[in-house]
Each structure stands twice: as C-alpha cells, then as structure tokens.
Structure 1
Amino acid sequence: MIDARESDVTRSHVVRSDSHDNRDWLRDQPVCQLLSQHHIAHVEIIEASTSFGMTRQDQSGTFMLACFGGSGMVLADGGWKKVKAGQACLLPPFVTNGMKAIGSVPWLMCGVRYLESREVLPIVSPGSPVLGNYDPRPLHHAIQGLHAECSGSSSPAVMHLWTELIHSYVMRFAQPHQADTRLWKLWNEVHKSLGHPWTLDELADRAFLSKEHLRKLCRRELGRTPMQHVTFLRMQQARHLLSTTDDKVETITRQVGYTNPHTFSNTFKQWTGWRPSEIRK
C-alpha cells in the first residue's frame, strides 16, 4: 500500500520498464524495456513539496534514493533517518519503508526502484550502507539522459548505455569498495555466523580495532552502529529464510542469534513492519 498525495509531488522525469504499469503518475511516462535486464522497475527524478509523504508497507524491491537538494526523512531500520543533499539512502525490499519531506524548500532527489524476488538475495549485501555520502550528479544526469533518449530517438544502443550507467552508479553505492579491509572481513565473518551471540567487544577484537574506532567506521561507511548492523544482517537473513524455507519460526529464531522468540518477533516487526507469522501468510 502507498500512502501519498500526488498533488504534493512533481515527477519531472520517470522512465518505467513495463508499459503495463499504468498507475496515475506512470501512465504517460516513457518506457525502456532494457531496464528489466537489471530488474529495475523504474527510475525517477522527483521534486517533492514540503508536505509530501508516502509509505510502502511491502516494498517489492530495493530502492536507492540520492538527494541533490533540500532534505527529507526516510523510514529505515525501524526509525526515521534524515537525508540531505550529497547523501544517498539504500532501502531494502519486502519491509515497510517511507519518505517525507522536511524543511521550507522542495526535496530534490533521484531514485532507482528494483523489482526483486523473495526467493533470491537482493542487491543489498552485508557491506551495503543504509545511508552515506554520495555524489548524486552522475546518477541524476544518467536518468535525465535515459529519459531524453526514450522521449526522442529511442536508439537501443544509446538506451543500453544509459541503463548500464544507472545500474553501475547504484551498485557503486550498494556494494562499495571499503578502504579498510578489516571492516569488510568482519561483516563477512558475522554474516556466516549470525547465530553467534555477538557483542561490541568481540566485534572490535575480531576487527583489531578499538570499540570507538569501529563505531566511527561503521557510522561513516554504513550509516549504522556496529550492533545495529548485526541486527540488520539478522533481520535480512530471517526474512529470506521465512520466505524460502519451511523451517519453524523457533528454528529461524535460533539460527539468527535469538533465544527468545518474543524478542525476535518484536525486533523483526520493528525493522520490517511485519510479524514473522505475517511473512509466512
């Protein structure tokens, strides 16, 4: 479900991958079927008024938002996070996400929405940030270029180039090269052992860092604290297991590091917007 007032947003550029998507704000927008090669549902450039707000209860694919003017709030990891010019946010699929404009000037952003399956892992990886610094200009210009080409000559070769650039700019943020290899190694180790009772002290020891240094690195590269990122990885794995296996909820609870099913259920609800039993339904 989407809760939004269409009069509060001006979508200056949208390109969709499928002509059958005829929602009001997509009906007259150009189509580029090449986007579907990367499982992209649509790309967009948005100017949102200060009263704009929307919520997706079960987002069907990863959504990347890059801000190039004004500021807004995004609902991620169970809480609201501010996104301002020069930053990007990566929202995972199949959870409750939301956006709302703040401040006295319009919120200017470009976005790429993917269409993903519950049966496969999304482009969000163990090293993906939820929020971080990002130069939005290349992605912004690539979406503008694709829109112009689809609205004009519609050369398949040119549209292919713009599509490849858009996906590459998203992946550059979603799967960044981390200069500090200790952090990359740490999260891969954690991802392989989510049932382990991780603590901040142990995370710092495994990474050969002080707790304070680890906190600073995680805040800068992931937009989360170390323990918040452990929770994120656990909730992503739990969602995947609930969608792809017949394992009991109690079994999955233990597999992702929880001993109390009630605590797991409450945490899962906070981070995804759903109870584990609702995912099964």
Structure 2
Amino acid sequence: MEQLDLLTETHILGDDTHVLTVRAEQCEALAARHIAHVAVVDAAAPYTIVRTHLSGAFMQVCLGGHGRTLLDGRWHTHSVGYASFAPAHVLHAFHCVPGTRWQLCWVRFMPTSPRSLAGAMAPALTRFDGRPLEHAVRGLYHEMQQDADPGSRAIWVDIIERYVSRMVDPWQREPRLNSMWNAVLADLGRPWTLEELAALANISPEHLRRLCWKNFGRSPGNQLITMRIARAAHELVTTQRKIEAIARDVGYANPFTFSNTFKRLTGFRPSEYRARPRQ
C-alpha cells in the first residue's frame, strides 16, 4: 500500500482544492433519498481522505485528471470515465497525485440507505460517464443558492438518483445476474461452483464470465469473494459475534484462509479490523 496512515481518519483538502457540496441537512429531498451529501470537487495535492470506518456507502466519479483510490485492499489509478463504489464499513481512502489536478463528483449515502446495507454491493471500479451526474449535482447546488421551491430541488435529486442507479445497481441491468446474485446473497456460506452459478442464471459458465467482467470488472469467483468479505466486514463492526462464526457464515470453514483473504482485500486481519477506530 502507499504510504498513508490508514489507521487514522484523515480529511485534508489543501488550499488549492475547491468543493461544491449540498448536504441532507440543507436539502430535504436528499434526506428523503437517504443521501448524506453530494459534491463536485476540483482537487490538488495534498488532497487526502482516509475513512477507517465508512458508515455509509460512497460513490465517486472521475471527471478529469486522475488520482489514487483504495478498493479491495489495493490501490487503483482512478481516471476519467471510471466510477468507484465503496460499501459501508470498509476501509476507504483516496488522494491526489502531486502535480496533477483531479476533478470528481461523489454521492455519500446515509447508513440508513439500502445501498449501505450488508451485501448491497461489493467494492467496484467500473466504467461510467460521470458528466451527466456532475451536471445534476451542479444543478442542485445552483438551485440551493436560489429561493426555489422544494419541488424543483426534488427533481434534481431524482435525476441524481437515476444516474447513481446506473453505476451502483449493475446487475439490475441484467435480470439473469440479478436473480443469481440475490440467491447467492441469501446463502453466502454455500460452496458455490461456477457451474451452479451459471445454472441459476440459465446461461453457460463462459457467458457468465463475460457478463461479470462487463458489469463488475472481475470474474464470478472474485465477485463472490468480495461479496463474502463485504458481508464479513459488516458483521465485524456491527455485531460482537465470534470471528470464527462469521467466517463460517460467509463460506470459510478454515479460519486461517478467511483471515488471509480478509487481509488481502481490506489490509487488516479480522481482529484488527474490528478494533479500528470508528467515526
């Protein structure tokens, strides 16, 4: 990992970073959608964010330049045309590259949002045109500066929600994946095989591979692993259940295999993850 203190909540903007933000406290329409805030950002180093305990899911779209984003326990270059999604209760971090500006827009969901629930979606970095979402966020920001009626604000929030759905509900675009992954979420502890997953979707294993790479940017097996670890991470910070029991529930009979997989994707052992400072 890059040399950031991933154990400490960090929020560094810097003098050369500019942020337009609308928060739920200001906008009833955002609160009704369980969206904590939306923003458009033009950032430069030392812009750095580290969230050791992300209380609500977070979607971020690159509009220009590039930066670095931590997902699945690995650093990724976040460039134009890509959006990232971080589920609730994960370690999440991103920062500007020195000498490079980074234009972003984001949507932060409340803990009460369905998008923040356990298993709602695994961490993802996928292709996404964020310009329409940016225009909608800017439209809402402009509306907030006016003495406009709440109905006008609600229209902008509805547009934001529609564009968000295109990214954070990827399997909703493909009904066969929708039914398949819903069945998997209901029984994450089952030792699913590729053939069983393909049979649930009523397609061939090779076609399932292609659809998963297209919609999630990972293989069916890796998507299953990330969903299991996302569920385990949620359980670790919201319950006091034993780590071994959580591991079994998400499909790991061997606690050492679970611990190694969890560390590979989050950067922490399960016990370390549970002991992290929280927001």
When the two structures are superposed, what TM-score results if normalisation uses the length of structure 1?
Answer: 0.81
- Map of 1:133-172 to 2, 5 A cutoff? 133-172=127-166
Does the 8 Å contact 2:14/2:46 carry over to 1? no
State the alpha-carbon separation in 2 of the partners of residues 92 and 59 from structure 1.
8
Alignment counterpart, residue 66 of structure 1, candidates 61, 65, 71: 61
Does the 8 Å contact 1:60/1:94 carry over to 2? yes
Which residue does 1:22 correspond to in 2? none
Which residue does 2:233 correspond to in 1? 239
Instruction: Decide which moves more: 32-41 or 127-136.
Output: 127-136
- Map of 1:85-234 to 2, 5 A cutoff? 85-102=80-97, 104-117=99-112, 122=116, 130-176=124-170, 178=172, 180-200=174-194, 203=197, 207=201, 213-234=207-228
Which residue does 1:259 correspond to in 2? 253
Aligned partner of residue 109 in structure 1, secondary structure: strand
Quickly say closer, same or farther: Cα 1:52–1:69, change in 2 above 3 A. Answer: same
Quickly say closer, same or farther: Cα 1:60–1:156, change in 2 above 3 A. Answer: same
State the alpha-carbon separation in 1 of the partners of residues 91 and 79 from structure 2.
21
Q: What letter matches 1:194 in structure 2?
A: L
> CA offset at residue 213 of structure 1?
4.6
Does the 8 Å contact 2:9/2:51 carry over to 1? yes
Aligned partner of residue 191 in structure 2, secondary structure: coil
State the alpha-carbon separation in 2 of the partners of residues 220 and 129 from structure 1.
15
- Map of 1:34-53 to 2, 5 A cutoff? 34-53=29-48
Number of residue pairs aligned between Structure 1 and Structure 2: 268
Percent identical pairs in the alignment equals: 40
Give yes or no for the alignment of 1:6 onto 2:13.
Answer: yes
Instruction: Decide which moves more: 71-80 or 44-53.
Output: 44-53
Aligned partner of residue 267 in structure 1, secondary structure: helix
> CA offset at residue 279 of structure 1?
6.1
Does the 8 Å contact 1:125/1:174 carry over to 2? no
Which residue does 2:51 correspond to in 1? 56
> CA offset at residue 46 of structure 1?
0.7
> RMSD between aligned alpha carbons?
3.0
State the alpha-carbon separation in 2 of the partners of residues 121 and 15 from structure 1.
19
Aligned partner of residue 7 in structure 1, secondary structure: coil
When the two structures are superposed, what TM-score results if normalisation uses the length of structure 2?
Answer: 0.81
Quickly say closer, same or farther: Cα 1:167–1:256, change in 2 above 3 A. Answer: same
Quickly say closer, same or farther: Cα 1:235–1:113, change in 2 above 3 A. Answer: same
